[in-house]
Amino acid sequence: MSVLLCAAVGLAQAPKAVKKAPPQFSILRPNAAPLPLSHYRGKVVALTFISTLCSHCQALTIQLNPIASEYAPRGVQFLECAINDGAEGGLTTFVNKFQPSFPVGWSPREAMASFLGISQMDMEDFFVPHMVFLDRAGNIRGNFEPGTAFYQNPPANIRAELDKLLKK
């Protein structure tokens, strides 16, 4: 399997087309039941696809902690889903080191590709961290690839996306 690359510079941001998130997508967790994304319908969801080995993903996890705590009372659920090879085995170490205040799990890359509507050919150019925002109805309203302006100031841009979704 190809090596997952972290934060590529200069990738174009995906179009902001509204797309219904596939209801069958679940995040797997060690020693716990899978978390189906459909479980969070009625909440705004900030889902980040990561690699447990990526320094950009690790830094983003640290930045997400206070934002997740700030927005949880407003009906926002943060989730992280590792897609790198060996994610299942490295997840406990990742969680212990970075102490996310929200659920973190893993998913096979194929399931993530299906969720985002990415072809196997496009998977060769898939980079992390990759944030997706879902509205309360489970529609994908924001899809942000690394290397875009969104990641120049993640805390401010994440808050702006969440505030926009909470107003709808």
pLDDT tens-digit series, residues 1-50: 334 444 443 333 444 556 777 768 999 998 899 999 999 999 999 999 99
DSSP H helical ranges for 5-79? 55-71
Going by their DSSP bridges, the two strands 139-144 and 130-134 should be labelled as antiparallel
Question: Domains of the chain by range and CATH?
Answer: 22-167 (3.40.30.10)
Mean pLDDT to the nearest integer, 57-75: 97
- The span from the CA of 22 to the CA of 37, in Å, is 9
Predicted pLDDT at 17: 58
State the pLDDT at residue 104.
97
3-state helix, strand, coil in the chain (%, to 5): 40, 25, 35
Contacts of 30 (CB under 8 A, 6+ apart): 88, 91, 92, 105
The reported pLDDT for the residue numbered 146 is: 93
Q: Where do the DSSP E strands lie in 10-147? A: 19-20, 26-29, 32-36, 44-50, 76-82, 104-106, 127-128, 130-134, 139-144
The predicted pLDDT at position 1 comes to 39
Q: What is the pLDDT of residue 51?
A: 96
What confidence tens digit (pLDDT) does each residue in 123-148 have? 878 899 999 999 999 999 999 999 99
Q: What is the mean pLDDT of the chain?
A: 89
State percent of the chain over pLDDT 90: 77
